[in-house]
Structure 1
């Protein structure tokens, strides 16, 4: 696919930016741009159509539709154009190129904890207002601009318009809540996708503050999470967090979805924290 041109020969795929379960993201150079520099580069997600059944194609279209709706927000990666020709085996989703990588690889300075997190929160809250639930919030899906001062939400491959879902295990185990894994005290038939996004935001906040995850998986089989179930203040024993941050995390990492804070509540609590560590 490298060297392949799309958009009537305007864009050339020059390198691979990332590989995912549902597609490959390429760096594309705008051949009409005189200097071949920003803004002459784009990220192009290439989705294969060959061999997909109707359900898989429906998921593909859902990703594109939901991303298109959400991309009007400044903290969501911009989507410029979708090329889906009948005679081409691939769909091409042309997006903004974010040259500074993702949040996972970006070391965020302490004074920018809240600023960066608020941008992520803004994007998620905007999506929820449109009835879009991301279900795969993690640092790898948050891209950086301006040296990390600005971040944008990306990858709507697992996003859904369903407020409640029975699609368990959707996303990364590091970032999904226990309800997304079927529940802890009882077997669930569905889970609240908005509440699961809030849980993921809590793990991302721990990433920003501490540079690590609170646990590998929010399930009783995980030793750290099991200790948290026994003692909700356990995170303060193993993480460099303040009393205020610990109180906030306990409102996010609730076992029952209905006890979990909402996005507006989360925003207010983060804004009121005087020190994170």
Structure 2
């Protein structure tokens, strides 16, 4: 099937290696494609800025990079703001040619400093990871000497935080199983490609309300890892409520197991309707975890004494029964077992994403069509 006219023109512009083209070349190569575009007043004004005349074609040297960036922006119609943060602003948009709903993330780009590390990580990660349960990067809009870069992403109705707060169906155990299963599928794919997310939380999980689709997003804190890699990482990753104990205790060396702790916290929150561990400070959160799961011991976690923030003076809390912490699962032995294995203190003993996907708790769960 032949591409739509605008897509065909943008594809041809992408194949140019130069930033500009002489009039004759522009008219011979691009002119026929431009004439196939379904003109409207906005497009006519856009092309006129680049020297396009309806009869004569391009009337001078053509700024190829500038035209490509302008046409990319024209391709997507913004129809509302979805959110904002330190990274920039996210808009809901529609593809002018296909009517596909999309999310456009606008991030700062400076000539002096370029893109932020988190944006570079996100772009490189999403280019590598192609999976039904990971949000897809559709396009990148960057203009020469521009102050922003736009990431065009798949659109889903809302994030898991909004879903839990708004839709009663989110409390259904069958729906919870489907959401957790899909998160694990996305995380398994990331880990299989040696990438850990490091910031899993309900705000970074997108949900299709009607479709039931779930996709992991926001890989700005993701990083590559190698099995048995002896390299120090920063422990200041993952939003506080979902941060694993090894990170809270200052581990310099950690593994993709940090993501499984976060999935366990998300699962418990979906069941309980509120976070399982909650505090505004790291030490406070650590003690909330100890109060519920019991204070860890070196016998159960061999690396514990060597962690930077561990202290022999920590208060000694006995573990509470998990069925008491997550009462809706009190009669669900499989659900309690899966949650217990994700919330294991020792990351070496914590269940992996691949193992979790084989867990009996997911027996009979049907994934939504993609």
Contact (CA 8 Å) 1:244, 1:273: kept in 2 or not?
no
Q: Aligned partners of 2:104 and 2:194: how far apart in 1?
A: 25
Tell me which residue corresponds to 1:63: 122
- 2:288 is matched with which residue: 220, 224, 231? 224
Give the CA deviation at 1:272: 6.2
- 1:13 is matched with which residue: 78, 83, 88? 78
Alpha-carbon spacing, 1:219–1:265, altered in 2? closer, same or farther (3 Å) = farther
Alpha-carbon spacing, 1:190–1:51, altered in 2? closer, same or farther (3 Å) = farther
Alpha-carbon spacing, 1:60–1:117, altered in 2? closer, same or farther (3 Å) = same
1:176 aligns with 2:243: yes
1:161 aligns with 2:220: no
The range that moved more, 23-32 or 167-176, is 23-32
Give the CA deviation at 1:151: 1.0
1:23 aligns with 2:110: no
State the aligned residue count. Answer: 257
1:112 aligns with 2:169: no
Cα deviation 1:26-76 (Å, max 9, x = unaligned): 11233446xxxx52x31001110127746x634422210101211x21111
Contact (CA 8 Å) 1:232, 1:250: kept in 2 or not?
no
Rg comparison, structure with higher value? 2
Tell me which residue corresponds to 2:160: 103
Alpha-carbon spacing, 1:210–1:25, altered in 2? closer, same or farther (3 Å) = same
Tell me which residue corresponds to 1:87: 145
Contact (CA 8 Å) 2:335, 2:361: kept in 1 or not?
no
Tell me which residue corresponds to 1:259: 349
Tell me which residue corresponds to 1:124: 187
Structure 2 unaligned residues grouped into runs of 5+: 1-69, 295-316, 365-370
Q: How much is the aligned-residue C-alpha RMSD, in angstroms?
A: 2.6
Q: Aligned partners of 2:73 and 2:358: how far apart in 1?
A: 48
Give the CA deviation at 1:112: 2.1
Q: Aligned partners of 2:360 and 2:140: how far apart in 1?
A: 37
Structure 1 unaligned residues grouped into runs of 5+: none
Q: Aligned partners of 1:178 and 1:195: how far apart in 2?
A: 11
Give the CA deviation at 1:235: 3.6
Q: Aligned partners of 2:123 and 2:252: how far apart in 1?
A: 27
Query: Could you say what secondary structure the match of 2:259 adopts?
Result: helix
Cα deviation 1:67-105 (Å, max 9, x = unaligned): 1211x211111211112222211111101121x211122
Alpha-carbon spacing, 1:270–1:84, altered in 2? closer, same or farther (3 Å) = farther
The range that moved more, 213-222 or 89-98, is 213-222
TM-score normalised by the chain length of structure 2: 0.63
Alpha-carbon spacing, 1:263–1:29, altered in 2? closer, same or farther (3 Å) = closer
Q: Aligned partners of 2:151 and 2:284: how far apart in 1?
A: 39
Tell me which residue corresponds to 2:132: 74
Q: Aligned partners of 1:137 and 1:122: how far apart in 2?
A: 13
Q: Aligned partners of 2:112 and 2:321: how far apart in 1?
A: 46
Q: Aligned partners of 1:175 and 1:265: how far apart in 2?
A: 20
Tell me which residue corresponds to 2:34: none
Query: Could you say what secondary structure the match of 1:259 adopts?
Result: coil
TM-score normalised by the chain length of structure 1: 0.82
Alpha-carbon spacing, 1:52–1:162, altered in 2? closer, same or farther (3 Å) = farther
Q: Aligned partners of 2:343 and 2:144: how far apart in 1?
A: 46
